Structures are given as structure tokens and as C-alpha cells.
């Protein structure tokens, strides 16, 4: 059974869906949820999901090897579920094609630094897009530029507000993210 560590910065709805999904499979188990936000709701959710949730400081991530050493002990795969910090190259090098992110738009559109959450959905609305969706991709040294694993679209009407777009996209995230993570693991390990 493969081990997944999830990084999350906020409410943790995707982390919750991933933990629940893998609690009922034999493919993998979520061993840890790590957050750079000590007040993140995801850490509270971990308690009810019987999953370890840990807060870490930026220095543990960027200037020391505290987080890297923990990952080497706890993870075969790393999943970013609403995590806003850029992953340091030392972690990317230690886990090549083993770090999976979800982006709330159809990359390469609406990606890059600062493009997360409602910033993305507002930009999609402002550009009068007729569709949006999710992109699940591997993480490399640049924001949202890693190889695309999976995309799923949803249509947008001219009446849709950024909040409605966000709800449509989140529904896709919850439906597909856990399944695509499992698919990646199965393709790599049969």
C-alpha cells in the first residue's frame, strides 16, 4: 500500500474527500496532512478523519530539511490540495513525478503565481469564458506548468457569477481528484 502526504492551506474539502476515498481502497493510505497555516480548518478535519495533521513553519519547508525528512519517512506520493506555497526544488527532486496538484481552471489558461481560488474564477468570468474546469498535473519548479495528467470541463453561462463557477469547479474536484490520484499510483505500481 502506497503512502500519500497531503499539503493543504485552507478548509481542506479536497483533502477530506481524498482521505475518505483512500480509507475504502487498498491502493494507498493518507499518512499525514501538512499545513503552513496553523489555523487551517483542514487540521481540525484531520482529527475527525483519524488522520495526522501537522502545522509547519516556512523555515521548516524552505531553509531546513525538516519537512523533506518527514516526507522521506511518510510519503510515496505528495498531493497538493489547496496549498499555496511553491514547492522547493529539493522536494521536487526527491519526488520526481510523485507530486500531484489540482488547479481550478483549464491550464495553461489562468495559471501561474497568484492564480488560485476566487482569483481564478473571477478571471474566468472577466474573460467571458464559456467553460472552465479542473486540471490535475504533476508539479515542477514553475507554478502550474508540470505535465498535465487529467482535465475535465464544465460549461459556464453568461449568468454564472464567480461563486457559481467556483461551485461547479469544486464539484469536479471532489468527483475526480481522488480517482485520478489512484489511477496515477496504479499506473506506476500496477
pLDDT, one tens digit for every residue, the chain (190 residues) = 999 999 999 999 999 999 999 999 999 999 999 999 999 999 999 999 999 999 999 999 999 999 999 999 999 999 999 998 999 999 999 999 999 999 999 999 999 999 999 999 999 999 999 999 999 999 999 999 999 999 999 999 999 999 999 999 999 999 999 999 999 999 998 6
Looking at residue 18, what is its pLDDT? 98
Map out the domains of the chain as residue ranges: 2-103+135-151+173-189
- Which ranges in the chain belong to alpha helices (H)? 13-23, 41-48, 58-62, 66-74, 89-94, 117-126, 162-189
Backbone angles phi and psi of 148, in degrees to 5: -75, 130
Kindly name the residue from 103, 119, 121, 137 that is annotated as catalytic: 103
CATH class of segment(s) 2-103+135-151+173-189: alpha beta
pTM: 0.96
Is 124:162 a contact under the CB 8 Å cutoff?
Answer: yes
How many C-beta atoms surround the C-beta of residue 115 within 10 A?
17
Kindly provide the b/e burial profile for residues 85-112, where b requires at least 16 CB atoms within 10 angstroms of the residue's own CB: eebbeebbebbeebbbbbbbbbbeebbe
Looking at residue 162, what is its pLDDT? 98
Edge-to-edge strands, sheet with 2-7: 53-55, 28-35, 2-7, 77-80, 99-103, 131-138, 148-155
Looking at residue 73, what is its pLDDT? 97
Per the annotation, the verdict on 39 as an active-site residue is no
Is 4:28 a contact under the CB 8 Å cutoff?
Answer: yes
Looking at residue 189, what is its pLDDT? 81
Looking at residue 153, what is its pLDDT? 98
Amino acid at each position: 500500500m502506497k503512502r500519500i502526504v497531503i499539503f493543504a492551506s485552507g478548509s481542506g474539502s479536497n483533502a477530506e474527500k481524498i482521505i475518505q476515498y483512500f480509507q475504502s481502497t487498498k491502493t494507498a493510505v493518507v499518512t499525514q496532512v501538512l499545513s503552513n497555516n496553523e489555523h487551517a480548518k483542514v487540521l481540525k478535519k484531520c482529527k475527525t478523519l483519524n488522520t495526522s495533521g501537522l502545522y509547519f513553519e516556512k523555515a521548516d519547508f524552505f531553509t531546513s530539511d525538516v519537512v523533506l525528512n518527514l516526507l522521506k519517512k511518510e510519503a510515496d506520493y505528495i498531493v497538493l490540495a489547496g496549498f499555496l506555497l511553491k514547492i522547493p526544488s529539493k522536494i521536487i527532486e526527491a519526488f520526481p513525478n510523485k507530486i500531484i496538484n489540482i488547479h481550478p481552471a483549464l491550464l495553461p489558461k489562468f495559471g501561474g503565481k497568484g492564480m488560485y481560488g476566487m482569483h481564478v474564477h473571477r478571471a474566468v468570468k472577466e474573460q467571458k469564458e464559456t467553460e472552465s474546469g479542473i486540471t490535475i498535473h504533476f508539479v515542477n519548479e514553475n507554478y502550474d506548468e508540470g505535465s498535465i495528467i487529467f482535465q475535465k470541463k464544465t460549461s459556464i453561462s453568461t449568468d454564472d457569477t464567480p461563486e457559481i463557477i467556483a461551485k461547479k469547479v469544486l464539484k469536479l474536484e471532489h468527483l475526480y481528484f481522488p480517482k485520478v490520484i489512484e489511477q496515477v499510483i496504479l499506473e506506476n505500481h500496477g
